[in-house]
Structure 1
Amino acid sequence: MVLALPTQAQHLFSDLDYGVYPVGFTHYVAIDSTRQYQRIHDFTDSKIYRPIPISVWYPAKEQTADQRLTVDDYLRIVAEEAEWENLPDDLMLGWFGYGTDSVYQTRRKLKTKAVRSLPYIDDSHPLIVYSPGYERSSVENFALSEYLASHGYVVISSPSRGTGQQFLDAGTFRDIETQTRDFEFLAKEVRSRYAAGQLRSVTALGYSFGGLAGVYAATRNDYVNAVISLDGAIKYQYEKLKQSPYFDAVDFKVAMVHISQKDIPTELLDAEDLPPSINTEFEFFDEIGKVHAYKIRMDSLSHSYFTSLGVLFQPRDPRQDPAWRTIRTGYQTLCRLSLKSLNAVLTQPSALYEQIESGHLANPEDFTLLEYKQAAIDNTPTMNFREWVELMRAYNYQDLAGLNSEYSHFRDMPTSLYSPKEWELNTLALKLAFDPETYEAGIRVAEFATLAYPESANLYDTLGEIYLLDNRKEKAILNFKKSLDIYPENGNAIKRLKELKVD
């Protein structure tokens, strides 16, 4: 039986609750001059600066229905990004491993919601950086991107490709690093194209292998506010991310929603030699803490159908996939769930839980909330020592005790500011004091250190040395004596007092 499809004038997902904004789209190529690249299908040894094809969906001012892009327009971008710019249209689907019968061919002609190069609406909008799956196109999830743009989001994406040529290195950490650098390039690029203040937040949205880049980007860029993972490989290939000496799950401090595929049936697990634990284990989710985190399962979608192109052209696997109409409905639920997740994690992360529990989301039978971690009230440091120093420097190291007055002893009372360690304060004090231009700041830090750690003989010894640098002998003597009161065998204090002729 052939399913009836929407007419060409309609959009495949026309019954989605699109937002009030017309959807603009632009596609262009930017150049990353920090990396070299070789077009391997050109069969030449010449290298160029790395091209980054970029697709952007955005809220627009106006739209003309008959100018909307077709699915074919997006497929041509797929071919361009794969460096097959002149690939004939009739070869397109088979070339990229999709279904080729008449049903799939008909879907190529469907209208979408986007129109090229519409004027951008002059307003402030949240930004989504979308990281596609392994060696996939920037437009693989065009329908989701259009849907989010209609609700006021700017979505930017680039294809998943290798650092020096089109293909990745079989999913190594180097590939994760490459895609994360592309994420950072896109975030910078989109800021350069829109006026300051027009982009008020940044969310990492990633599918499959791109989910690893989204998580990694969030741990090393403070501007990332949230992560949405569409069956991201952070669940399945976390060990690859852990290979980085620079990655630590402790650094993940933003709200996260992970939406996974339906459970893989036993028949398929056995046939593909997959462990049953692939359905349940999620090490990264278990490790993160002190953040709002959701684990949701789509009950009608297998992995391939988390993207627009997958829904349209990926042949069903009868061992696990339901009828295409059910897949289409499930994908629309995924779009709505992604929007609700974005709206929640950027404002009030607990609101998503309340909406799910109350049944206010459309088609609640399509998904299951597996786990919700609510961020605990946490008084542990939210900044590191470098950031603490920058803050104190802004006040010229004045009134350190007042600025840090919410605690009196670092060791005993956690603070939401930062609890400098004894050695950190000692090193900072000496570093400042040895420079004549910051000598007085060094004294202030050393004095503050003795208040924070009043039982430290070493800190009083340091303060004595700093006073001695400026020939302030009386204060130096006083602090060397305090050091000896705490630790009578302090050789340096004994030596200094003898030099100063103090009994």
Structure 2
Amino acid sequence: MHPKILVALLALCVCFNSISAVAQTSSFQFLEKPGPYPVGLKVVNQYDHSRSFPSAPGSSGTSSAGHGDRPLQTLIWYPSSGSAARPMTVGDYARLAAMEIRFDIPAAASKWAALLMGSSNVPLWAVRDAPLATGHFPVVIYAPSDSSVAWENADLCEYLASHGYVVLASPSMGASTRDMTDDLPGIDTQARDISFLISYAKTLPDADLSKVAVAAWSWGGISSLFAAARDPRIDALVAMDGSMRYYPGLVQRAADVRPDRMTLPLLFFTRGYLSLEDWDGFNEDGKLGPNVLNQWIHGDLLAVHMLGMSHPEFSSMIERKHDTKRFAKNQTADYDRDDANTSYAWVVRYTVNFLDAYLKHDAAAAAFLKRTPAENGVPRHFMAASFRPAQKSGSPSGTGTVSGP
């Protein structure tokens, strides 16, 4: 073989191997280790009999005992005593999407199964119907994003369960449609779903209903705000780039939702850079109103700015279905896939410490929140955090460094 041809072939091999290496490291990876508890998962097909819901297209209307009532496919992650059974895979979760509306007649196809095909064999932690761990654990309701599945952040939910939380979630659906509606009726519907799940948690033998939080991403964030304003059982909120920040006009229209009067602690994660031009795009109906975070003066507010994260990167399953091209479209500056994985890991770590501090009154978690991100080992240029304590009546407002609960 001619030497020049040989050199060219070797160069191509090196290039191909480099591309392959990038491809292998470019997918979503959950970097956190589990907490002290193995994780169990139960899937409960139930109905809210106080609300009606149209039957699925083509259904006979006679095959489901709860036909006509609102279906709520409920996922429950919980601390387990351990099991040798096979854990859930991404594909196992994806198959649940086919049974959200008609529990007895799965849909013929699920877009999630197709979109997650490349990750379908990736194992997670939860084992279906694993035995319960001994004890009673605080409850976290997870509220998913607009029209999404209950398990869009399965990695976060499993992580919280491994740290001693009972986590419940149901799909994001409109009042009468599988897809959420981006309006007040849609928000009210998901807020009622959140309260329904809290009431259902009373039936769980391992749930401690004296300690309840709601964690949410995107549209679920505004719904969780409405739920917390109306349901006194909710003790804390975690919002990952929640829509309450982007739709203050909808918040303002709900007369009974007053952020300036709420006393709950709130952990709010914001995405990376947004230009003035981007913000200008939010100047439309429903998006103009008083800033919710600025109004949050009577409850502790921990605001964490994830400098390199785009909006979709707050969901582990959304990121698994995004290919390299889609990731590049949403990419923030030059933060690459590995940076996104690192950022997500810090989001879940701050979430569990926030919940431990406010629901379990854990001193180590409170100390974690009091330290700066650098002191907690966060890499440089990944995060900025500020803590604003709840103000007493008549006290001036102000924002300082993180000082914790």
Q: Settle same-fold status: TM greater than 0.5.
A: yes
Q: Distance in 2 between matches of 1:378 and 1:242?
A: 22
Quick one: which of 68, 73, 88 aligns to 1:48? 68
Bigger Cα Rg: 1
Alpha-carbon shift at residue 30 of structure 1 (Å): 1.1
Report deviation, 1:12. Answer: 4.1
Note closer, same or farther for the CA distance 1:214–1:225 as it changes in structure 2 (3 Å cut): same
How big is each residue's C-alpha offset from its partner over 1:132-160, in whole Å with a ceiling of 9 and x where there is no partner?
Answer: 00111110000000111111111100111
Do structure 1's residue 85 and structure 2's residue 106 form an aligned pair? yes
Aligned equivalent of 2:315: 307
1:20 maps to which of 36, 42, 51: 36
Answer yes or no: is 1:258 the counterpart of 2:258.
no
Code of the residue aligned with 1:26 in structure 2: it is K
Aligned to 2:42, the other structure's residue is in SS state: strand
State the 1:45 CA deviation: 7.8
Is contact 2:368-2:376 (8 Å) kept?
A: no
Distance in 1 between the 2:380 and 2:370 partners? 13
Q: How far apart are residue 287 of structure 1 and its match?
A: 1.0
Aligned to 2:154: 142
Equivalent runs, 1:208-223 vs 2, <5 Å? 208-223=218-233
Name the amino acid aligned to 1:300: G
What TM-score results when the alignment is normalised by the length of structure 2?
0.79
Correspondence for 1:331: 344
Asked if the contact 1:12/1:111 (under 8 Å) is kept, the reply is no
Letter paired with 2:195: E
Deviation at 1:43, TM superposition (A): 6.2
Contact in 1 for aligned 2:217/2:240 (Cα 8 Å): yes
Please, what TM-score do these two structures have when normalized by structure 1? 0.65
Which 5+ residue runs of structure 1 have no aligned equivalent? Answer: 99-103, 276-280, 381-503
Aligned match for 2:54, one of 23, 31, 38: 38
8 Å CA contact 1:38, 1:45 repeated in 2: no
Candidates 112, 118, 133, aligned match of 1:106: 118
Deviations 1:205-247 (A, max 9, x none): 1111111121122122222111000110010012112212222
C-alpha deviations, 1:387-424, integer Å up to 9, x for none?
xxxxxxxxxxxxxxxxxxxxxxxxxxxxxxxxxxxxxx
Closer/same/farther in 2, CA of residues 225 and 361 from structure 1, 3 Å limit: farther
Match of 1:234 in 2: 244
Q: Which residue does 1:440 correspond to in 2?
A: none
Letter in 2 for 1:216: F
C-alpha distance in 2 between matches for 1:214 and 1:375: 20
Structure 2 unaligned regions, length at least 5:
1-18, 284-288, 396-405
Deviation at 1:353, TM superposition (A): 4.1
Q: Is the 8 A contact 1:176 1:241 kept in 2?
A: no
Q: 1:175 aligns with which of 182, 186, 189?
A: 186
The answer to which structure has the higher helix fraction is: 1
Alpha-carbon offset, residue 345 of structure 1:
3.0
1:356 aligns with 2:372: yes
State which of 83, 108, 111 in structure 2 corresponds to 1:63: 83
* Deviation string, structure 1 residues 236-268 (Cα, Å, up to 9, x no partner): 0121122122222243111001001111357x8
Q: Which amino acid aligns with 2:76?
A: V
Equivalent runs, 1:126-137 vs 2, <5 Å: 126-137=138-149
Quote the offset at 1:323 in angstroms.
2.4
Amino acid at match of 1:120: L
8 Å CA contact 2:354–2:366 kept in 1: the answer is no
Question: Contact (CA 8 Å) 2:263, 2:390: kept in 1 or not?
Answer: no
After superposing the two structures, state which structure 1 stretch, 322-331 or 22-31, moved more: 322-331
Q: What SS does the corresponding residue of 2:213 show, helix, strand or coil?
A: strand
- Please report how far the alpha carbon of residue 24 of structure 1 lies from its aligned counterpart in structure 2 after TM superposition: 0.2
**Cα offset, 1:78, TM superposition:** 2.3
How far residue 364 of structure 1 moved from its aligned partner, in angstroms, is 5.7
Contact 1:39–1:166 (CA under 8 A) maintained in structure 2:
no
Aligned positions of 1:262-301 closer than 5 A? 262-264=272-274, 269=278, 273=281, 283-301=291-309
Identity rate, percent: 22
Equivalents in 2 of 1:312, 1:163: separation in Å?
Answer: 29
Task: Describe the SS at the equivalent of 1:67.
Answer: coil
Measure, in 2, the Cα distance between the counterparts of 1:224 and 1:157.
Answer: 15
Question: Aligned pair count?
Answer: 355
Query: d(CA) in 1 for partners of 2:126 and 2:291?
Result: 38
2:90/2:120 contact within 8 Å kept:
yes
Larger RCO, structure (CA 8 Å, separation 6 or more): 2
Q: Is the 8 A contact 1:311 1:331 kept in 2?
A: no
Amino acid at match of 1:263: Y
CA contact (8 A) 1:137 1:159 kept: yes
The one-letter amino acid of 2:358's match is V
Quote the RMSD (CA, aligned, Å): 2.9
Mark the CA change 1:92 to 1:377 in structure 2 (over 3 Å): closer, same or farther.
Answer: closer
